[in-house]
């Protein structure tokens, strides 16, 4: 048995460590994936007005701040029984969609591609593995050029979002009640010009590049397959009565099932927390305990029906029926492309539905009390905020982010997390250059800034706040 340790795993947001043991044939026998940054967000939210959470939780992740603001706003809105009007929903879709496009392009070109090609031989592109590079010099050049032009496209996606969001990262105006922008006809045209640019990049450059990758590395349809269980909370409202472009659902053994929030629990036997394991997020607490015996990560283990599930674009497009091939490294890349192509064309439709000068915001104030969840999707998967309010202040806040699903450690029954499972069994050609491991990890697009969280120690929290019973 030999061991490979990758610390840090670069080209992702945050601090991630991967450690595997290899058997005598250099196949991965066991794997641990660990989040190495702990930030305590849920605790800092306590005693604040509920409306502040949309701003603070965006600061969990500079890569996908918008879904945090949306999840948080939805939780507050649910407590008050409010739903934004169509203008508000479309503005959210467009800002969140722009964030998806930015994140997706960044993921494929800037976070993943260097696992398959050698970039220019200057820092920061030197020092990568040279194992298993299959593209010709000409194709490498093409992909490198696209790496560079994709930097413009991802930037433009941010600029496009800022037309309605004020700025990115960290949108200024996605709040409970809707979005405060009053889009002018000029701004709508401006947005459309950006959207057209991005759409043409996706339908030409990105499409051909992802296909090129998939044909050169077609064996990766059989690598990183993991459990094959997929989960999505659903995202992008298509109307005011609950229609979603990508509906909620689960996939088990290829079959789509209904999603039921009540089936989610979080475990922490192998996490640096001493608080009770196996709680539903609405009642979960977290007490940090670095160095806890047997623990190896700051991430907890969310499970659905006590089973590990994988979140991300593949889950969304499988449930929506847009892509149903398999679960693997290459399927994750293909799914992301399929989703972005569908998203960008629907954004055109949503843009058509904006009314120039109309308000997508209602001043709903802060709810006095109640509990609710706000569920949506980040580019990298299902995201949920569970909020309780008492005396108009936050009395409890729990967050489950996509990377919690994917990069979670073993649960209390010893089931590895989805990324860990996807690593197990992988053949490593050259243990000195374990590029296969990077390809698998990157295909999940992990983000550890978002994935680590904690509540205050139970005693402190309970002595300060009365948690309201669930109800509207």
Partner 1 sequence: MRINRRDFLKWSVAAVAALKLEMDMDKLNTVMAADTDPPVIWLLGSGCSGCSISTLNVTNPTTIEDVLQNKISMKYDSTLMAGAGENAMQALENAANQYNGQFILVIEGAIPGGASKNNCIIGEQNGVPLTMYDAVLKYGPKAKYVVAAGTCASFGGVAAAAPNSTGCVTVKSLLSGKTAKPVVNLAGCPVNATVMVQTLLDLILTGVPSLDSYSRPSKYFSTTVHSVCPRRETEEVSQPGIYGCYEEIGCKGPGNLSPCPSLKWNNRQGWCVQSNYPCIGCTSPAFPLNPVISVSSHD
Of 54-62, 259-267, 306-314, 318-326: span binding partner 1 (CB under 8 A): 54-62
Whichever of 6 and 216 has its CB closer to partner 1, that residue is 6
| CA-CA-CA-CA dihedral for 285, 377, 452, 461, to nearest 10 | -30
Whichever of 181 and 428 has its CB closer to ligand SF4, that residue is 181
461 is in an annotated binding site: no
Q: How far apart are the C-alpha atoms of 440 and 326, rounded to whole Å?
A: 15
Residue 469 per-residue DSSP state: P
144 binds, among ligand SF4, partner 1, none (CB under 5 to 8 A by kind): partner 1
The CB-of-170 to ligand SF4 minimum distance in angstroms stands at 8
Residue 60 touches partner 1, criterion: CB under 8 A: yes
Contact of 58 with 69, CB cutoff 8 Å:
yes
Whichever of 172 and 182 has its CB closer to ligand SF4, that residue is 172
17-36 residues near ligand SF4, rule: CB under 6 A: none
- How many other CB atoms are found less than 10 A from the CB of residue 369? 18
- Report CA 393 to chain centroid distance, whole Å: 27
Of 5-13, 323-331, 342-350, 402-410: span binding partner 1 (CB under 8 A): 5-13
Tokens of 127: 């020092």
The CB-of-228 to partner 1 minimum distance in angstroms stands at 27
- Judged on CB neighbours under 10 Å (0-12, 13-18, 19+), 133 is middle
Whichever of 141 and 260 has its CB closer to partner 1, that residue is 141
Of 124-132, 206-214, 331-339, 423-431: span binding partner 1 (CB under 8 A): 124-132
Q: How far apart are the C-alpha atoms of 429 and 461, rounded to whole Å?
A: 51
447 is in an annotated binding site: yes
Phi-psi region of 80 (alpha: psi -120 to 50; beta: other; left: phi over 0): alpha
Residue 326 per-residue DSSP state: -
- Identify which of 463, 68, 75 has the alpha carbon closest to the alpha carbon of residue 261: 75
Whichever of 5 and 134 has its CB closer to partner 1, that residue is 5
Tokens of 281: 């997020």
Residue 43 touches partner 1, criterion: CB under 8 A: yes
Q: Return all residues near 314 (Cβ < 8 A) that are at least 6 apart.
A: 230, 323, 327, 331, 332, 335, 336
Q: How many residues bind partner 1 (CB under 8 A)?
A: 91
Q: Return all residues near 407 (Cβ < 8 A) that are at least 6 apart.
A: 16, 33, 35, 299, 417, 418, 419, 444, 446, 448, 451
Whichever of 161 and 245 has its CB closer to partner 1, that residue is 161
> Out of 25, 121, 241, 293, which residue is the one contacting partner 1 (CB under 8 A)?
121
Residue 361 touches partner 1, criterion: CB under 8 A: yes
Residue 124 touches partner 1, criterion: CB under 8 A: yes
| Site track 159-198 with ligand SF4 (rule: CB under 6 A), x = hit | --------x----x--------------------------
Whichever of 250 and 297 has its CB closer to partner 1, that residue is 297
Binding site membership: which residues? 42, 61, 64, 399, 447, 450, 453
Binding site for ligand SF4 (CB under 6 A): 167, 172
Binding site membership for Fe cation: which residues? 64, 450
């Amino acid at each position: 048995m030999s061991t490979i340790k990758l610390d840090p795993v670069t080209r992702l947001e945050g601090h991630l460590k991967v450690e595997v043991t290899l058997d005598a044939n250099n196949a991965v026998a066991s794997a641990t994936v660990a989040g190495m940054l702990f930030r305590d967000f849920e605790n800092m939210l306590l005693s604040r007005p509920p409306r502040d959470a949309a701003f603070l939780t965006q600061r969990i992740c500079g890569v996908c701040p918008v879904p945090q603001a949306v999840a948080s706003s939805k939780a507050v809105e649910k407590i008050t029984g409010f739903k934004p009007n169509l203008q508000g929903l479309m503005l959210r879709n467009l800002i969140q969609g722009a964030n998806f496009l930015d994140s997706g392009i960044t993921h494929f070109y800037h976070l993943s591609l260097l696992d398959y090609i050698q970039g220019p031989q200057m820092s920061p592109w030197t020092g990568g593995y040279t194992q298993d590079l299959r593209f010709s010099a000409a194709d490498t050049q093409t992909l490198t050029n696209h790496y560079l032009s994709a930097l413009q496209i991802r930037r433009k996606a941010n600029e496009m979002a800022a037309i309605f969001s004020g700025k990115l990262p960290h949108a200024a105006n996605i709040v409970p009640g809707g979005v405060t922008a009053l889009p002018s006809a000029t701004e709508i045209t401006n947005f459309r010009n950006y959207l057209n640019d991005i759409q043409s990049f996706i339908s030409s450059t990105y499409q051909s590049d992802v296909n090129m990758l998939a044909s050169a590395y077609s064996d990766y349809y059989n690598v990183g397959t993991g459990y094959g269980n997929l989960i999505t909370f659903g995202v992008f409202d298509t109307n005011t009565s609950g229609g979603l472009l990508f509906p909620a659902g689960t996939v088990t053994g290829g079959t789509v099932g209904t999603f039921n929030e009540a089936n989610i629990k979080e475990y922490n036997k192998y996490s640096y927390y001493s608080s009770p394991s196996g709680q539903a997020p609405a009642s979960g607490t977290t007490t940090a305990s670095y160095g806890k015996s047997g623990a190896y990560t700051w991430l907890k283990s969310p499970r659905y029906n006590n089973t590990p599930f994988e979140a991300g674009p593949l889950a969304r497009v499988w449930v929506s029926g847009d892509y149903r091939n398999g679960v693997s490294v290459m399927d994750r890349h293909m799914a992301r492309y399929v989703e972005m192509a569908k998203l960008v064309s629907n954004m055109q439709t949503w843009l058509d539905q904006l009314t120039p000068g109309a308000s997508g915001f209602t001043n709903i104030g802060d709810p006095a009390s109640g509990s609710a969840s706000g569920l949506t999707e980040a580019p990298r998967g299902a995201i949920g905020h569970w909020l309780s309010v008492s005396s108009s202040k936050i009395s409890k806040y729990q967050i489950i982010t996509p990377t919690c699903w994917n990069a979670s450690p073993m649960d209390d029954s010893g089931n590895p997390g989805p990324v860990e499972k996807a690593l197990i069994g992988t053949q490593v050609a050259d243990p000195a250059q374990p590029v296969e491991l990077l390809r698998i990890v990157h295909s999940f697009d992990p983000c550890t800034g978002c994935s680590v969280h904690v509540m205050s120690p139970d005693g402190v929290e309970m002595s300060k706040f009365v948690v309201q019973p669930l109800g509207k």
